[in-house]
Amino acid sequence: LDTIPQLPTQVLVIIDLDGEDDAPFNLLAMLTARAKAGTAKIIALATSPSETVIQKAKAAKISALLTKPVSPDQLADRINKLVA
C-alpha cells in the first residue's frame, strides 16, 4: 500500500476481523487514509464480535459488519447494496 499514492475512486474491501491483534484495523486505517473521503466500502466479517470489536469497527467507518458464517447470498446481497 505504501507504493500506491491514492486508491481508485471506488474501493470495496472485505476483511476478516477475527484475531488477537489490531492488524485488520491498522490495515483499514491505511486504506481509508488513501481512499477519497467516503469512497471506501468496507465489509467486515467476525465470528462473534465483542463490544470492543464493534466499537473499533464503528471507529474504522466499516460499512457493514457480518457475523460468520456468511452465506454467499448474504455477502452478494450486502455488496450489491453498498455499490448500488
Instruction: Report whether 28 contacts 42 (CB < 8 A).
Output: yes
The 10s digit of each residue's pLDDT in 7-46 is 556 778 899 999 878 999 998 888 877 766 567 889 999 9
CA atoms within 13 A on the CB side of 9: 0
DSSP 3-state assignment of 24? helix
Say which residues have a Cβ less than 8 Å from residue 33's Cβ, sequence separation at least 6. none
Q: What is the pLDDT of residue 5?
A: 59
Cβ-Cβ contacts under 8 Å for 34 (sequence gap 6 or more): 1, 4, 5, 6, 7
